[in-house]
Amino acid sequence: MPVNDPVEPPDAELRADAWCGEGAHGRPATDAAKWSVRPPTSFKGVKLAPAPVDPANWRHPAVGWGVVLPDRADATRPEKARGDDAPQPIRELIADRGSAPIFRYRPESGDGKLRYYTARDTEHDLAFSGDRGSGPFQIPRYLLIVGSPAAIPWSAQLRMQLDACVGRLDLDPTGLANYVRALRSDWTDSQRDATRPVVWAVDHGHPDITRLMRKAIADKIAAAFAQDKEFDMRGGVLMDADATGSGLADTLGARQPAFVLTSSHGATFPLNDTAAMTAQLGLLVDHVKAVLPLDRVPADAAYGAIWYAHACCSAGSDGVSQFTTLVEPGTLLSDTLLAVEKCGSLTAPLPRRLLGSETPVRAFVGHVEPTFNWTLREPDTGQVVTHHIVQALYNQLHLSSRPPIGLAMATYYANVGGLLRDHLQELVGVNKHAAGALERAMRAKLMALDRLATVVLGDPTVALPKAK
């Protein structure tokens, strides 16, 4: 059934992939106009520009790789330049990668700049609009943030990924050692099968957003794999009654996939118990509306895989939502956004477990905050607008050259600049009282912020293994 079939008309409500006993939904606020005309914060970058050399070659000095750490007042400039305060595994990784440059995030400098300290006791603020590469006073194209969103906020990562290939590691000391050990060895003992991906998609039926997520993303990517002779999808697509927690765990163990895509609601309840919500924030909600406990997804079954989870808060939460004033107060969606804010800025438990286990995944791609139905399909025309994520995850990530995950996702982020341009253009129409301009401005801004809130966790240079 096509996604714009008349039996599933465009929805007048906002529906999110957040699960709090039912799918969170709510009307736009009566004063959503204020949200629509307010310029987006922290997202003034431009799309990723082409590098003068192969942008996948992060070892090339014109491309480069570096680490971003929180700045600190209790260290000298040379100590900060050497990264003396970095966790030991990160110091080893920096040494492995040719004494890679270290940058510092400073809240007072804003999200568009990083500070660079030198061994000669000098310091310099560098903007992303400046020179790129791994040379002196350049910002590399690949950046690994090491730290929690409380120390280096999500807004900084969202800003950086407009101009760079960015990933984050927010793990405890044991988890960080596990991940870096696997990264340095390139997962040599992982038996991933690049020809047997897994696509797991929950569908609770129209008008629940999971129906649209399945059709607009999971179905399209599963079909692309099925039509490609390189892939064996027999038993690799779990939908409808097969989209259960046990089914996912069993299939991961049997297929040993190099790529996993899950599409579902993410747990955002109980709304009145912040500690309990935090403990299960973003966990997948299956076909029978059961939350998948962490121990139901054996970490070794995804060892060395790249996992994309399209679910509310699958990557984490932010202390201040970009969307609270968009939604009518008192609706379930408004209550959900406010409750998630109380969890603070953090990385969700599922990626922390998958990345920090003794058998870690290569990367986890997920969402900070929810995804909305209006960002997956144009409500006026019924047109699906998910081709950019399909292109990133299938057409780019699965190229025979196996580009890094950060570069593959650049395809997705590249469209953000156009959406923000659309938003600004519609604001001109708002000032001229053009019919429909305010609603179009709201939708363009919503799509841009939603798309940008998709983040990579793990090192951005990791790639799928070659097909055997």
- pLDDT of 51 reads 46
Residues 240 and 364 in one domain: yes
Within a domain: residue 371?
Answer: yes
- pLDDT of 2 reads 40
| C-alpha 416, offset from chain centre | 14
- pLDDT of 52 reads 62
Calculate mean pLDDT across residues 91-101. Answer: 96
Calculate mean pLDDT across residues 107-121. Answer: 92
Question: What's the structural domain count of the chain?
Answer: 2
Residues 223 and 354 in one domain: yes
For residue range 387-400, list pLDDT tens digits in order: 999 999 999 999 99
Residues 131 and 213 in one domain: no
For residue range 172-192, list pLDDT tens digits in order: 999 999 999 999 999 999 989
How far apart are the C-alpha atoms of 254 and 235, rounded to whole Å? 10
Residue range(s) defining the domain that contains residue 405 = 14-39+191-457
Residue environment code for 393-420, b if the CB has 16+ CB neighbours within 10 A, otherwise e: bbebbbeeebbbbbbbbbbbbbbbbebb
**What residues contact 71, with CB distance under 8 A and at least 6 apart?**
80, 104, 105, 106, 115
How far apart are the C-alpha atoms of 113 and 109, rounded to whole Å? 6
| Eight-state DSSP code of residue 62 | T
- pLDDT of 35 reads 85
Residues 271 and 363 in one domain: yes
| Measured CA distances, 394 to 97, 227, 315, 417, 420 (Å) | 29, 12, 20, 22, 25
* Confidence bin at 4 (pLDDT 50/70/90): very low
Last residue of a domain, one of 151, 169, 185: 185
- pLDDT of 9 reads 61
Last residue of a domain, one of 185, 201, 222: 185
More confident of the two residues 299 and 273? 273
Residues 133 and 178 in one domain: yes
How far apart are the C-alpha atoms of 62 and 140, rounded to whole Å? 8
Q: Which amino acid is at 211?
A: R
Residues 289 and 415 in one domain: yes
Which percentage of the chain shows pLDDT scores above 70? 94
* Confidence bin at 227 (pLDDT 50/70/90): very high
- pLDDT of 288 reads 96
- pLDDT of 11 reads 75
Within a domain: residue 82?
Answer: yes
Calculate mean pLDDT across residues 366-392. Answer: 88
- pLDDT of 378 reads 77
| Measured CA distances, 338 to 88, 319, 323, 438 (Å) | 37, 9, 10, 25
Last residue of a domain, one of 185, 216, 235: 185
Residues 195 and 178 in one domain: no
Residues 175 and 202 in one domain: no
Is-contact 457 365, C-beta < 8 A?
A: yes
| Eight-state DSSP code of residue 320 | S
Is-contact 298 252, C-beta < 8 A?
A: yes
Residues 200 and 164 in one domain: no
Average pLDDT along the chain: 91
Sign of the alpha-carbon torsion through 133, 139, 145, 146: positive
Calculate mean pLDDT across residues 322-334. Answer: 95
Is-contact 465 412, C-beta < 8 A?
A: no
Residues 99 and 244 in one domain: no
Query: Exposed/middle/buried for 172, CB within 10 Å: 0-12, 13-18, 19+?
Result: exposed
Residues 265 and 168 in one domain: no
Phi, psi of 356 (to 5 degrees): -105, 5
For residue range 39-55, list pLDDT tens digits in order: 765 554 545 555 468 99
- pLDDT of 3 reads 41
* Confidence bin at 10 (pLDDT 50/70/90): low
